[in-house]
Amino acid sequence: MLKVLYITDQIYLHGGGERVLTNKANYLIENNLAEVYIVTSEQKQNTPCYPISSKVIFEDLEIDYNRSVSYFKWINFKKIPKHFFKLRKAIHSIQPDVIITLSTQFDFYFLPFIKKSIPKIKEYHSSRYFNNKKRESNTSSIRSFVYKLNDYIEGEYDALAILTQDEKQYYRSNNTVVIPNALTTYPDVQSTYTNKCVISAGRIAPVKQFDKLINTWSLVAEVLPDWVLHIYGGGEVSEINYLQELIDSKNLDRQVKLCGSTNDLETKMLNSDLYVMSSQTECFPMVLLEAMSCGLAVVSFDCPHGPRNIITDNVDGVLTENENEALLAKAIISIIKAPDALKKKGNMARESVKRFNADYVMHQWIELFNSLIAEK
């Protein structure tokens, strides 16, 4: 049986990467495909945020970087030797057949050079669209050096696992492999479309642009005052306060609710009628798969690059011009005011999302593991 090691910073905060890692670990164990180890750098004795198999073997290195400042500040930089030696010791102890890292910490730079006989995969969950724009306009020699260093390090990994074909253009090495996220749950029931509730979810952060969604809802509420918008997710207190102040300033306190984090998003979706996404950028958002499996059509900004790889416009959802709040509002109003179309698109969403079933996606991962092991 394969021995698989995942490396990440933590799995106690709600997020797409944490959800995907948990799903994969559970699948490998439940199907007797691998022993799974998860090594973290700052779990801080917290319980994993998503249900995970008791057979997963955890180890926390207790590096505890200060996440409120740059990793290159001295308070974090001085922890590199400790991180290196503790991670190397953990790898030598576990002796995995393959290592997959989700980390964006300093171990990204030194992991390829620890026990080089073990295949190593760097897994990416975010889009490089805006990062690439910054790189194209860069005039700093220091920043140019960092870009080239990152390119070199990425080339030292045996594979870079990315989520969509669109993202391949942003990588300089020829070791990219495209594997989408998997849908690992599929409810027996679906939305009844009788709740007059629209849902959105994600960490409360600027990239999710929930402020634009609230602005959009002020237009929706003028036409559909009896419909509500529920936003699920946690984040920095300052961001949450900013959104609440925006809701209050627009007198939307009865129509828009910040619901906080939930461990049962599926039930919240089943009690909703439509999913809306207003992100600045996405790569391959798990939350869309989950919403569609509940029979929810999706209305989303056509942001780079995720939604268009999941939603088929005007079939199982609607894609609108990116950043255009007026058009997003118009699409929401249009689909809500046509209940037959809402149900039809919801039914199509539930059917089309099956193409990302776990058996199909995890088969690709197992094939990748075996091919890299064979090459070594």
**pLDDT tens-digit series, residues 235-269:** 999 999 999 999 999 999 999 999 999 989 999 99
pLDDT of 117:
96
pLDDT of 15:
81
pLDDT of 89:
98
pLDDT of 52:
96
Query: Is pLDDT of 306 > 90?
Result: no
pLDDT of 67:
82
Dig out the tokens for 359 from the structure. Answer: 């058996």
- The residues that bridge with 29 in the sheet, in sequence order, are none
**Which contacts (CB < 8 Å, 24+ apart) does range 214-218 have?**
214/243, 214/246, 214/247, 214/250, 214/252, 214/256, 215/246, 215/250, 215/325, 216/276, 216/278, 216/325, 216/328, 216/329, 216/332, 217/252, 217/255, 217/256, 217/329, 218/250, 218/252
Kind and range of the H or E element at 342?
Answer: helix 339-352
Query: Is pLDDT of 106 > 90?
Result: yes
Any idea what the Cα angle at residue 239 is, between residues 41 and 328, rounded to 5°? Answer: 115
pTM above 0.85, yes or no: yes
Report CA-CA distances (Å) from 220 to 318, 349, 350: 16, 23, 25
Task: Quickly state the pLDDT bin for 184 (edges 50, 70, 90).
Answer: confident
**pLDDT tens-digit series, residues 58-76:** 999 999 998 888 888 899 9
Give the whole-angstrom CA distance, residue 284 versus residue 176.
16
**pLDDT tens-digit series, residues 333-364:** 999 999 999 999 999 999 999 999 999 999 99
pLDDT of 264:
92
Task: Quickly state the pLDDT bin for 119 (edges 50, 70, 90).
Answer: very high
**What whole-number percentage of the chain has pLDDT above 70?**
100
